[in-house]
Amino acid sequence: MRYIPVLLVFCAVLNIYQCRYSLLQLTDTCLNTFIWFLTDFHRYIQQLKELPKPISTYDPSNMHFNYNLSEYQRECPEHRYNIEIISRRPLIIYIKNFLTPNEMQYLLKLADPHFQYSKVINNDGSPAVDDNSRVSSTAFLQRSQSPILECIEKRFAAFQGNINPLQIEPLQVVKYQSNQFFNPHFDWFTDENNLNKGGQRITTFFTYLSANCTKGETEFIEVKYNHTLHSRFCQFLMCDDEAEQYGLRFRPIPGNSIFWFNVDENENNDRLTLHAGRPPSENGLKFGLNTWTRQAIFHG
């Protein structure tokens, strides 16, 4: 009986992955089912003396996958990872070991010659440098420029129910040094210029590629830390004495990814997804990977 809620969540997640239609349909139907199951799970789990183990897609005895990059020339490796459901609204899922060490090194090498000063999107949809909002460097990776990159793009698509990889924008590597930051912001758009490039940004992945820092958290401002709900996630959340004064703050752990929906179950832009990239601290350095998925095929 104690494993019933775990099975319910597993079925709900599986239900999401089996959707083969547009992401808006996924949000409208599968997400409603997912939230219903998850609500029941949260209610039931309070009765358990011991929390169930996280849903895992791999054997814990073999936690660190790494593949020879030459293998990608033939076919994409069957990569496995571990997920934790962190928040129901907004839906935030933490993915452990989503990228391998070799994949991360490859992405960093690919991005290195292309870093430019990061920009923000103005209200009219135009990009601009704004030192008050965002200070970092970014590099866009040309879509499917190698079998390795194509396999990584397909993995992001498969996680979302095997959507068309062309709905994913070109991957963006971002670099934060010392006191660089990205102040609270949303990933969704309101301007027609960007919406016309493939619809709304339905989901976001932020994946850590490298971190040599003491801070550098990703914070969800409106999703407050709750000791009862979140203390079991302290291996990747900040759980210090001041934690309950902040939103959820994710530690920069390379290979792990944060996934969230930018719209709610009614397809409205979700203001609870307000988030920020905090400075990595003096002499610190952090690299991450932004992956944004559109409602339709992206063209920009």
CATH code, 188: 2.60.120.620
**Among candidate residues 66, 87, 97, 125, the one with its CA nearest the CA of residue 220:** 87
Q: Is residue 201 part of a domain?
A: yes
pLDDT at position 294 over 60: yes
Q: Is residue 153 part of a domain?
A: yes
Q: Report the percentage of the chain scoring pLDDT > 90.
A: 74
Q: Is residue 43 part of a domain?
A: no
Q: Is residue 16 part of a domain?
A: no
**Among candidate residues 171, 165, 176, 67, the one with its CA nearest the CA of residue 110:** 171
Highest mean pLDDT: which of 9-13, 24-28, 163-167? 163-167
If you count DSSP H runs as helices and E runs as strands, how many of each does the chain have, helices first? Answer: 7, 15
pLDDT grade, residue 133 (50/70/90)?
very high
pLDDT at position 185 over 50: yes
Which whole number is the average pLDDT over 47-51?
A: 43
* Average per-residue pLDDT for the chain: 85
Q: Is residue 227 part of a domain?
A: yes
Residues with Cβ within 8 Å of 126's Cβ and at least 6 positions away in sequence, in order, are 193
Q: Is residue 241 part of a domain?
A: yes
Q: Is residue 270 part of a domain?
A: yes
Q: Which pLDDT score, from 0 to 100, does residue 124 have?
A: 86
**Alpha-carbon span 133 to 7, nearest angstrom:** 43
pLDDT grade, residue 31 (50/70/90)?
low
Q: Which residue has the tokens 């997640």?
A: 13
Q: Where are the beta strands (DSSP E) in 141-264?
A: 172-177, 181-185, 201-212, 218-224, 247-250, 257-261
pLDDT grade, residue 125 (50/70/90)?
confident
pLDDT at position 118 over 70: yes
Q: Which pLDDT score, from 0 to 100, does residue 123 have?
A: 84
Q: For residues 33 and 191, which has the higher predicted lDDT (pLDDT)? A: 191
- Tally of domains within the chain: 1
Question: 41-45, 127-131, 136-140, 193-197: which has the minimum mean pLDDT?
Answer: 41-45
Q: Is residue 154 part of a domain?
A: yes
pLDDT for 246-284, tens place per residue?
A: 999 999 999 999 999 999 989 999 999 999 999 998 899
Q: Which domain holds residue 242?
A: 67-294
Q: Which pLDDT score, from 0 to 100, does residue 33 have?
A: 54
